[in-house]
Amino acid sequence: MIDVEVDNRSGLPVDERGAVELVRRVLAAEGVDAGEIGLAFVTSEESRELKREHLGIDEATDALAFPVDGLDELPDELPRQLGDVVVCPDVVGEEWRAPLVHAVLHLVGYDHGDEMEAREALHR
């Protein structure tokens, strides 16, 4: 089972249940049936700070992914730590699903390009 830990720090109402269901659906379609993922909804200020700190770009963004284990081979006794996804409702508004899918796909090893776009299209 995929364990999704949600933290809404955005100050805005968010469909947390829908987000968790989407994360689990995307990961199941990608062949991931067990692991842990952190999902945070943040303010535009926090989004901007994270993007500046980790990517060197000083602007708020829709979503960020911080992969940990990805799909690497792990010993059986270790739980898979997929990583963390950060979504900014201030930036995405009601359209949080596509950026969330994009970020989750980064956690399992996809990078920008044709393959990523094809995978995103499957999850629409």
Task: Give the residue numbers spanning the domain of 62.
Answer: 2-122
Q: How confident is the model at residue 9 (pLDDT cuts 50, 70, 90)?
A: very high
pLDDT at 86: 96
Q: Model confidence over 75-95: pLDDT tens digits?
A: 676 676 889 999 999 998 888
The structure tokens listed for 118 are 């094809």
Q: How far is CA 63 from the centre of its chain?
A: 7
Neighbours of 14 (CB within 10 A): 16
pLDDT at 103: 92
- CATH code for the domain of 7: 3.40.390.30
The structure tokens listed for 100 are 């969330």
Amino acid of residue 77: E
pLDDT at 95: 87
Q: What is the rounded radius of gyration, in angstroms, for the C-alpha atoms of the chain? A: 14
Segment 1-27 shows an average pLDDT of: 94
Q: How confident is the model at residue 104 (pLDDT cuts 50, 70, 90)?
A: very high
Query: How much is the mean pLDDT over the chain?
Result: 88
The structure tokens listed for 57 are 């770009």
Segment 11-25 shows an average pLDDT of: 95
Q: Model confidence over 43-80: pLDDT tens digits?
A: 999 999 999 999 999 999 999 999 886 666 766 766 76
Looking at the structure of the chain, the number of domains it has is 1
